Homo-oligomer: A and B are copies of this chain.
């Protein structure tokens, strides 16, 4: 029989020849090109026919016999009768039926908002200036952590995180936020995203309702939906989340996600009255509040409002913070503060709900905080971002535009500009994109039927000398979009 076609196609470079022969023989058997019962040439003869070493053939035969594709007997080597189901026979190419695709919730993760996080163009919101990261101090801490690492730090990290980091954070939060927190209440997470996922899975079941701010953080919407929860967008006003009696009655939540210190993206600060009411109503409904305090390290005006977390010892609040904005996003470290009554149970559950790791990086971060590098870096970045915000506001005033209001200046890394109804935010942002700007339309953060029209201007990644030019390009884009819509 002629088997020269086995090696007729060009051989891939990366594979040894015996592997190629084995693979092609196997494909021919599985596709029934070599029918069950077919007797193959003796290894010596096939080697001669193909012009390769006999050992190469022997090795391929042996492997195919080991896995049941070939059967050896004293009458020679034959192709086995394999129970190949019809769907997979007769073809080496993809079948008519395409592969199944993403699930319904999987499709949600394809929304275009996804790409915002990796944008480094001017005005991309939520992007910290990593060029100012204190590499030397950080690498010093990493080096020390590696030198001191034991097998324990290389194994799965202890539930809740490295004890040293939990201690350092409890102490940091007591001075920075006035929290009375025990290290046992600190749970290290994979950034804020990891905190969302933990809370969704450990505190809610599939089908439970989660309240999300509207407008709000799109990644929270995706994370909770992917965890099987039913998101219910609740309107935000100038005092923060503003649930109506109908919301409480018809969509009682199991989880409420809020950004009271600096609402994302409008920048609203939740009033104390609203905080008290929300906490009391959540308690009444046996719902958990998840307070996402994503950027209060960069407050500007006056003292920070106290967190929802410390408002009342019985408040059903978990507090989430992150190092993504204050250090660098790829570090993927954040934390949850869990009420004392829940802490032990929650921490034990995290060990199985995630597989905690990155113990070395956590030790380094504990060191970084304890040696004062963290507060020094924060102080420096606070000044830097304040100067950038001032420069942005000044440039916006110097080159006036159509915005009806600017909000969100109390903290963080972005401002929200509200646009008049006749100037569509998506048109403006599309025009800005042609100017090389990553301005985000507020409507992308909004769920219908609510209508928000505006744009987010991140200033974290634009240094002061470049601010005026960036604003000029923005104004150009706005005029361009206005001309088109007029």
Residues of A participating in the B interface, judged by any CB pair closer than 8 Å: 12, 14-16, 19, 22-23, 26, 30, 62-63, 66-69, 82-88, 91-95, 97-111, 113-115, 117-118, 120, 127, 130-131, 133, 135, 139, 142, 146, 151-159, 171, 174-175, 178, 180, 190-191, 193, 201-208, 219, 222, 226-228, 254, 271-273, 276-277, 279-281, 283-284, 286-288, 302-303, 305-306, 310-316, 324, 328-332, 339, 341-342, 345-346, 348-355, 357-360
14 A/B residue pairs, CB under 8 Å, sorted by A: A15-B178, A30-B276, A67-B306, A68-B272, A87-B284, A106-B201, A111-B352, A117-B355, A120-B152, A154-B329, A155-B330, A190-B190, A191-B355, A193-B354
Question: Given the known A-B contacts A94-B314, A276-B30, A276-B84, are A352 and B113 also in contact in the complex, defined by CB atoms under 8 Å?
Answer: yes
Question: Given the known A-B contacts A82-B276, A330-B157, are A95 and B283 also in contact in the complex, defined by CB atoms under 8 Å?
Answer: yes
Contact A103 B204 (CB under 8 A): yes
A345 contact set on B, CB distance < 8 A: 101-102, 110
A354 contact set on B, CB distance < 8 A: 193
Task: Pick the contact of A69: B93, B97, B146, B272 (CB < 8 A).
Answer: B272
Copy total for this chain: 2
Contact A357 B329 (CB under 8 A): yes
Contact A106 B178 (CB under 8 A): no
A84–B111 CA distance with the chains assembled, in angstroms: 40
Known: A101-B342, A226-B353. 18 other contacts (CB 8 A): A30-B311, A62-B303, A87-B280, A87-B284, A88-B283, A88-B312, A88-B314, A93-B313, A94-B313, A95-B314, A99-B342, A100-B286, A103-B201, A105-B201, A139-B146, A154-B331, A155-B330, A332-B358
A1–B348 CA distance with the chains assembled, in angstroms: 48
- Chain B proximity of A413: nearest CB distance (Å): 13
User: Which 10 A-B pairs give the minimum distances between C-beta atoms?
Assistant: A85-B280, A228-B228, A206-B228, A332-B357, A106-B202, A154-B328, A114-B352, A109-B349, A206-B206, A68-B272
- Chain B proximity of A468: nearest CB distance (Å): 22
Question: Given the known A-B contacts A82-B276, A130-B154, are A100 and B287 also in contact in the complex, defined by CB atoms under 8 Å?
Answer: yes
A113–B355 CA distance with the chains assembled, in angstroms: 13
A117 contact set on B, CB distance < 8 A: 155-156, 351, 355
Contact A99 B156 (CB under 8 A): no
Contact B273 A68 (CB under 8 A): yes
A19–B178 CA distance with the chains assembled, in angstroms: 7
Contact A109 B19 (CB under 8 A): no
A203 contact set on B, CB distance < 8 A: 100, 102-103, 106
Closest to A81 in B: B273
Contact B68 A99 (CB under 8 A): no
Contact B330 A360 (CB under 8 A): yes
Question: Given the known A-B contacts A94-B314, A276-B88, A355-B193, are A306 and B201 also in contact in the complex, defined by CB atoms under 8 Å?
Answer: no
A180 contact set on B, CB distance < 8 A: 12
A361–B154 CA distance with the chains assembled, in angstroms: 14
A171 contact set on B, CB distance < 8 A: 14
Contact A329 B284 (CB under 8 A): no
- Chain B proximity of A71: nearest CB distance (Å): 12
Contact A273 B349 (CB under 8 A): no
- Chain B proximity of A62: nearest CB distance (Å): 8
A357 contact set on B, CB distance < 8 A: 190-191, 329-332
- Chain B proximity of A183: nearest CB distance (Å): 13
Task: Pick the contact of A85: B103, B228, B276 (CB < 8 A).
Answer: B276
Contact B158 A118 (CB under 8 A): yes
- Chain B proximity of A359: nearest CB distance (Å): 5
Contact B120 A155 (CB under 8 A): yes
Closest to A178 in B: B19
Closest to A85 in B: B280
- Chain B proximity of A288: nearest CB distance (Å): 6
A279 contact set on B, CB distance < 8 A: 88
- Chain B proximity of A244: nearest CB distance (Å): 15
Closest to A30 in B: B312
Closest to A107 in B: B349
A385–B118 CA distance with the chains assembled, in angstroms: 42
Task: Pick the contact of A341: B98, B226, B353 (CB < 8 A).
Answer: B98
Closest to A203 in B: B103
A287–B157 CA distance with the chains assembled, in angstroms: 34
Contact B85 A153 (CB under 8 A): no
A205–B280 CA distance with the chains assembled, in angstroms: 34
